[in-house]
Structure 1
Amino acid sequence: MAINGVSPYNSKFRLSGLATGLDTDQMVADLMKVERVPLDKLLQKRQLAEWKRDSYREVTNLLRGLKDEYFSNLKMSANMLSKSMYKKFSVNSVNSATGTASAVVSATAGTEAVLGSHTITVNQLATAAYTESDTSTSGVTADLRARNLTGSSSAVLKYDAAKTFDVSVDGVTDTITLTGTYSDADALAKAIETQLVNLNGKVALSQSGGLIEFTLMGETNKVIQLNEGTGALADLKFSNGQSNQVTQFDFTAGGIGSKDFQITLDGVTKTVTLNGNYGNMAGLVTGLQSAIDTAFGVDPNNVAATRRIVVSQMAGADILKFDTANGASKMTLSSGLTSNALPFLKFNPGESNRLNSAETLRDLRGSFGNVLTFNASNQVTFTINSKQFAFDSNTTLSSMMNQINSDPDAGITIQYDDVSDQFKITSDQLGEGSNLSIVNGDGNFFAVGGASKIDTNSMKIVKGSGPLAAADLNVNTMKFKVTIDGVEKEFTFGSNYATAGNLASAMQNLINADVGSGGFGAGTVSVSALNGVLKIRLNNGSNMTLSSGSANDALGNLKFVSGDTTTGQGHNGRNAKVILDGQSLVRSSNSFTANGVTYTLLGTSSSEQKITLTNDVNAVFDNIKGFIDKYNEVISKINGELSEEHNRDYQPLTEEQKASMKEEDIERWEEKAKSGLLRGDSLLQGIVYKMRSVMFDGISGVNASLSSIGISTGSYEDKGKLIINESKLRNAIQNDPDAVMNLFAKESSIRSNLNITQDQRSTRYKEEGLAFRLFDVVEDNIRTFRDSNGHKGTLLEKAGMTGDASEFDNAMYDQIDDYDERISALSMKLIDKENKYYIKFASLEKMISQMNAQSNWMSSQLGSGS
């Protein structure tokens, strides 16, 4: 049985009128029309209740729109409850010396700020404690050299009989025996490496996709060679005598001729094509250099200054080396597009002069300048800021760094910079309290002379402010002073230097030299020059300070300043130092608030910066106007519901009526039938009354009113809509923003809560500003939380809200549910009534049929008697 339709009541298939010739169905339908009238009226009442419920929900959505737009913490810039909305400042930061926009400081103003100007001089920014690798981590900042041997295909894992082969590095040999079955290529690689006794720490074994790989570890120019023993080398898919040296065959057209490979240099990939028979190693180097120059381009008039990759031969061996130059940094090799030349050059696809953080620590160990080592459990352990870490050799470098970075107890960020080839560690906090503590455990990741080239002594450094230029290297006879743990010495350079590295070596020798009583001694400091920037590390001692020479000071050339120092923790965090309105301030952050103004420090300058605060009248005015417009919209629509006439001539259509009408006619009819359903509704009248009264009742302790700031009610016909005098409102915002703020956003001593008493509600109403009062009215009607009596907002209790539990738990729902029960019961009665009519007509059919049968019999008898 359908709720919105009751015809047909009984869907049984019937054959009627066979004897009588009567249209029984039509006769029953006509009889049921009168019987169906009470049901049609119930269905109409139910439909009216649904429409009325929907009208209430439209009002609920109106109030929700007002709340979401002007009372939401998600839109603080428009939130009428927030004091910051009424005191918006236009803040201008300029350099007093130049009159241009400040690049040193920016500022924003809060509600506690006052109109006017402030001056600030930024002498020092707050910094976080940090440290970094003293030199290149991989040990090959510039160059990429052939040092890997890789099998041609997947290695055999099962050896029924023992087989051998030899591994040699510059004449030092280990014989490897393979026997039994290995679970996988990784197990096979580990089994080979455990047999490297003479070459322990010099050669690393790994596998990729089942291919076994031998790698010379550390920064080396040595030759690695594999020689067959009793067949194991062939099973590993290496050729007898395979090495990292280019062979005579490789020089020929049959070897390297007409082949190519790719180089990616700092993100730019080029294809390098080789042609011809190069004859020997020197010819190959020359040919390679020419092909690379063609691919990347050089200035023929200034080759030395524009060539970014330099090809050379390692000293004493036929081993190729690629060096980056002239600002280039990261270089990676990959296979050619046609016929791959890399195997003939003794390089593997993917080889790079930088660490690959996606590889495991085990596979990377030989890529560090100082070979990475592990403990007996194949782990590296260390402690950062009292937080202990342990990582298995199968952990990738990126996973290790991510785990450290996500640990709040460590409170640091570690990253590998593949431009400078350095690890960098930075405290997550700024200021002098952000010092770092790093203690190595097992393995050598953070050990002195370890893999990362960061250790405890790395924290005790002084670093130059920038790279040395050619002119800076002219330091002959220049002087500088070093003080270590209270002992001061002055040093004099004895010559000029060709490179920053040469100068660094000379400086280290000067400081470490034993100069007699009170001398520092050998090994006291290490001086390096990475990318032209000098760095002095204190190895022996607690504190070191640099100061100007007594004459002909060298510190300027060296990019140091007098007073540069370590405190035993190296790159300590520093506090920001500023002079604000004539007062010296020290802050641990580059963002701080003073007198309602939040300053963000961007740089330092000896020039004074001027911060000027003016009222942003337009922003405040636009928001108040938008709020009033929204208020008027809500008031107008609710008043429209209250005053709309209900045309009783248009009742909800029955299913029978709809069946004879067009769709557009039905829509027009129902639009009129829905009108005026909330006319004079007491619930809506109460909402409008409260919305109007809260805007004009006085506020305790506030002298301002809507009329005093230029907002008033319209005529009687406007029914409570507010009208804005724009010039008067702008004037109030400009000249008395606090009065405007308190009028709308003054907070009561009574906080809003679900269990507030009537007396507390009365006190809150008297004390709070207009926006809070209106917010309370809105919440009282659309609140989704239940109070101590178990009630939600009044509108939700009445008609519910879609998506909330009240959708199926409200007064209108109960009313509609009651109609449904009554409709169901009445429908069953009508079905019974319809069945009874059909039974009566069936009886008539039966009687007529019997009479017809008798008549036919009598006729047949009379006919036969004649």
Structure 2
Amino acid sequence: MVTRINTGVSGLDIDSLVKQLMTAERAPLDKLKQQKQQLDWQRTDYRDMNTLLSGLRDAASKMRLQSTYLSKKATSSDDTSVTATGSPNAADGTYKLKIKSLATGASLTSDDVTATSATNPTGKGDLSAKMGVSTTLTITGDKGNATIKIDKDDSLATVIANINAKTNATGVRLNYDVNVDRLMFVSTNTGKDAKIQITSTDSTFLTSKMKLNTAATASEKAQTIIGSQTFSITSKDKEGNDVTTITSDAFVNSKLEAEQKLTVKYGTDSYDFTVTNRTTLRQLMDQVNSSALGKLGVSFTMDDNGKINIFNPDQTKTVSFEDGTSDDVDIVSNLGLKSSSVTVKGDITYTKVAGQAGKDAEVTYNGIDTTFSNNTFSLDGITFRALKADPAKELSVTITQDVDTVFDAIKSFIDKYNEAIEKIDTKTTEKKYRDFLPLTEDQRKAMSDDDIKLWEEKAKSGMLRGDMVLTSALSNMRSDFYNTVSGLGSGQINQLTQIGIQTGDYTERGKLTIKDEDALRSAIASNPDQVMRLFTQDDTTAKMSSGDGIARRIYDRLDDVMKTITKKAGSAKDLADDSTLTKSMADLDSRIYDMTQLMTDKENAYYKKFSAMETALSKLNAQSSSLLQALTQNQSN
């Protein structure tokens, strides 16, 4: 390592001298860095152009779709009773219907649940009281069932939260309304299949704690089947000892080589469930509880001992199990449900309460009576939403071509195109300031932030000036819009000018404008299929041709241009970038690195030379001093 000195016996400012010498030496290095910066700016501009073109391509993609031009408008004779939307498949015309009754969900409402007290005189809103009873609730809805364990120290708020945590599995939600101080069970679906059924292993919990109507409850006999198999997972602790954890995430049978069926027979009916070597007990329980069998109230759960428990609410029906025949696929044994090994607890008294069942919507449509489980239903490509029932009132919904939506789609496409070509034209004609090169590090240090900003605005200008890829794309897109679409047949709309769309004068450089809005709206209303084909026609050939519709031409054109730009400049979102500009920048990085090393060596060499000079001067001074001292002594003698 070279020892650097600022000054010595020479009195020279060596750092300043070396810096001046290196300024000239570094000129080639600065030039390489400027070249790399220019490539980086150019790459950024190309990528910005690709982002711009991507937005136009997305707009063109939408305009290639027939559904864009087939939008229908639905008008109801009474929006307070029924609203409607028409799909592209809906035929124009007027449709008659009567809403005889609305679809409703299942519901169950409690009495007041909060007692009055000195601290709560209204007896409303206090859900903190402990249950005081340990029990198990089974909530059954149209989606299936779920079991909720309740501890005596749980509050009513906790019970509500635990029930709602299972809503996706049951289709039942529990709300508390502070205004009336009541619990309200509601089904998430409507229709005759919507239901709410709640059972409790405690005989009084539903009436005394949940305050559900006593008249709606009933004590019945049930049965629980307990399997002999314990479900657990064994793992190693930090000391390497085996630790066994009871969990429903254990596999039912990890030895299965293929998908198998577990059949549960309930009375005279059979229900099949899929089991693989990766199916856990939790997944199997979810399958059963959300199935048609679960909707009958049969639930599969795991108890605290890790064993499967099957709750059968109807002892008049026998529960049995079947699977494959070999030991390797013996799912029933793995569940511990062989008849010889299970424990059956019968005659269990539990309390059941059922809510008011849901109802289907009843509708008369064009003279035909029909029902729907939801108040939103579809007929003949029209989606109706029933809002109010009146059996005597005849309603009408009229379907017509949605001219406004199609007009707006075409206008939006043209606006997007005009915006894109304006920006491309600006970049390809932007002035190039050749005297404004990227600033070197020393130049930046000597300038203010505002001056740097002004300088770089000119230095960045013109990076895409005259670019052949973009100028060619502009020219081709203008032709794509202007040229006739061939193969549409005699007398068909085959050019934009026929629907009131024209190019502006030469100063607008190819922008499109809707010169005659009435002509465009008239064409959409009178000849929607012709307008659609003008944009969407596909001549089925691999290459773009005059037989393709305008939107299809533009989409294909942009796709090709974007691929070319990506090949040249890459994409910021791609992890691997082997584009031309990126490779050139990498080559410059390598040259910059090598030249930087060379500059370091040259700088060290200069310091080494100055150091040698200082050493020589120091020795010369020492010799001069010795000689002068000797001469002085001789003269004295």
Alignment TM class, shorter chain as reference: 0.5 to 0.7
- Which of the numbers 220, 224, 238 marks the counterpart of 1:370? 220
**Which amino acid letter does the alignment assign opposite residue 445 of structure 1?**
P
Q: Does 1:821 align with 2:559?
A: no
- Which of the numbers 761, 764, 777 marks the counterpart of 2:543? 761
Shift of 1:585: 8.7
Partner of 1:686: 472
Shift of 1:766: 3.6
CA contact (8 A) 1:102 1:609 kept: no
SS of equivalent to 2:50? helix
Partner of 2:73: 90
Aligned CA distance change for structure 1 residues 593 and 695 (closer, same or farther; 3 Å): farther
Q: Does 1:842 align with 2:611?
A: yes
Q: Does 1:21 align with 2:21?
A: no
Shift of 1:833: 1.9
- Which of the numbers 778, 784, 788 marks the counterpart of 2:558? 778
Q: Map 1:484-563 onto structure 2 (within 5 A).
A: none
Shift of 1:629: 0.9
CA contact (8 A) 1:52 1:677 kept: yes
The structure whose Rg is larger is 1
CA contact (8 A) 2:360 2:373 kept: no
Any idea what the Cα deviations from partners look like across 1:468-510, whole Å, max 9, x if unmatched?
Answer: xxxxxxxxxxxxxxxxxxxxxxxxxxxxxxxxxxxxxxxxxxx
Q: Map 1:490-639 onto structure 2 (within 5 A).
A: 580=366, 591-594=377-380, 596-598=381-383, 605=391, 608-639=394-425
Partner of 1:800: 570
- Greater helix fraction, Structure 1 or Structure 2: 2
Aligned CA distance change for structure 1 residues 143 and 853 (closer, same or farther; 3 Å): closer
Shift of 1:112: 3.8
Cα distance in structure 2, aligned partners of 1:643 and 1:34: 36
Cα distance in structure 2, aligned partners of 1:348 and 1:449: 25
**Which amino acid letter does the alignment assign opposite residue 110 of structure 1?**
S
Any idea what the Cα deviations from partners look like across 1:351-372, whole Å, max 9, x if unmatched?
Answer: 33459xxxxxxxxxxx961143
SS of equivalent to 2:397? strand
Shift of 1:598: 4.9
Partner of 2:251: none
Aligned CA distance change for structure 1 residues 585 and 639 (closer, same or farther; 3 Å): farther
Cα distance in structure 2, aligned partners of 1:383 and 1:349: 30
Any idea what the Cα deviations from partners look like across 1:237-271, whole Å, max 9, x if unmatched?
Answer: xxxxxxxxxxxxxxxxxxxxxxxxxxxx994679x
Shift of 1:695: 1.3
**Which amino acid letter does the alignment assign opposite residue 854 of structure 1?**
Q
- Which of the numbers 483, 504, 516 marks the counterpart of 1:697? 483
Cα distance in structure 2, aligned partners of 1:711 and 1:373: 77
Shift of 1:613: 2.0
CA contact (8 A) 2:74 2:400 kept: yes
Aligned CA distance change for structure 1 residues 664 and 266 (closer, same or farther; 3 Å): closer
Any idea what the Cα deviations from partners look like across 1:620-651, whole Å, max 9, x if unmatched?
Answer: 22222121111101000001111111011211
Question: Structure 1 stretches of 5 or more lacking a match?
Answer: 1-9, 73-78, 95-99, 145-151, 155-184, 187-205, 212-264, 271-294, 297-328, 332-345, 356-366, 390-397, 417-422, 424-440, 451-528, 534-570, 751-759, 783-792
Shift of 1:826: 1.6
Partner of 1:445: 313
Aligned CA distance change for structure 1 residues 415 and 803 (closer, same or farther; 3 Å): farther
Partner of 1:510: none
Q: Does 1:712 align with 2:492?
A: no
CA contact (8 A) 1:745 1:772 kept: yes
Cα distance in structure 2, aligned partners of 1:266 and 1:28: 82
Partner of 1:108: 85
CA contact (8 A) 2:5 2:611 kept: no
Partner of 1:52: 42
Partner of 1:351: 209
**Which amino acid letter does the alignment assign opposite residue 111 of structure 1?**
P
Cα distance in structure 1, aligned partners of 2:311 and 2:501: 76
- Larger relative contact order, structure 1 or 2 (CA cutoff 8 Å, min sep 6): 2
Aligned CA distance change for structure 1 residues 773 and 824 (closer, same or farther; 3 Å): same
Cα distance in structure 2, aligned partners of 1:84 and 1:532: 43
CA RMSD of superposed structures (Å): 5.1
Any idea what the Cα deviations from partners look like across 1:516-562, whole Å, max 9, x if unmatched?
Answer: xxxxxxxxxxxxx99999xxxxxxxxxxxxxxxxxxxxxxxxxxxxx
Cα distance in structure 1, aligned partners of 2:556 and 2:69: 20
CA contact (8 A) 1:330 1:352 kept: no
Aligned CA distance change for structure 1 residues 649 and 84 (closer, same or farther; 3 Å): same
Q: Map 1:59-70 onto structure 2 (within 5 A).
A: 59-68=49-58, 70=59
CA contact (8 A) 1:90 1:616 kept: yes
Cα distance in structure 1, aligned partners of 2:150 and 2:527: 76
Any idea what the Cα deviations from partners look like across 1:365-387, whole Å, max 9, x if unmatched?
Answer: xx9611432246499x7649732
Shift of 1:91: 0.8
Shift of 1:575: 12
Shift of 1:856: 0.5
Q: Aligned residues: percent identity?
A: 34
- Which of the numbers 79, 95, 98 marks the counterpart of 1:118? 95
Question: Structure 2 stretches of 5 or more lacking a match?
Answer: 114-129, 136-148, 155-173, 182-195, 199-203, 230-263, 274-281, 299-308, 319-352
CA contact (8 A) 1:124 1:578 kept: no
SS of equivalent to 2:26? helix
User: Normalised by the size of structure 1, how large is the TM-score?
Assistant: 0.47
- Which of the numbers 423, 427, 430 marks the counterpart of 1:644? 430
CA contact (8 A) 2:72 2:401 kept: yes
- Which of the numbers 661, 664, 673 marks the counterpart of 2:450? 664
Cα distance in structure 2, aligned partners of 1:649 and 1:109: 62
CA contact (8 A) 1:88 1:620 kept: yes
**Which amino acid letter does the alignment assign opposite residue 698 of structure 1?**
T
Any idea what the Cα deviations from partners look like across 1:121-151, whole Å, max 9, x if unmatched?
Answer: 67899x99x9x99xx9xxx99899xxxxxxx
**Which amino acid letter does the alignment assign opposite residue 402 of structure 2?**
D
Any idea what the Cα deviations from partners look like across 1:320-368, whole Å, max 9, x if unmatched?
Answer: xxxxxxxxx999xxxxxxxxxxxxxx9999833459xxxxxxxxxxx96
- Which of the numbers 622, 625, 636 marks the counterpart of 1:853? 622
Q: Does 1:386 align with 2:265?
A: no
Partner of 1:743: 534
Aligned CA distance change for structure 1 residues 804 and 605 (closer, same or farther; 3 Å): farther
- Which of the numbers 16, 31, 55 marks the counterpart of 1:41? 31
Any idea what the Cα deviations from partners look like across 1:687-711, whole Å, max 9, x if unmatched?
Answer: 2123222212322333321111111
Aligned CA distance change for structure 1 residues 80 and 589 (closer, same or farther; 3 Å): farther
CA contact (8 A) 2:569 2:580 kept: yes
SS of equivalent to 2:74? strand
Any idea what the Cα deviations from partners look like across 1:745-784, whole Å, max 9, x if unmatched?
Answer: 234435xxxxxxxxx214xx344321122122222233xx
**Which amino acid letter does the alignment assign opposite residue 83 of structure 1?**
Q
SS of equivalent to 2:219? coil
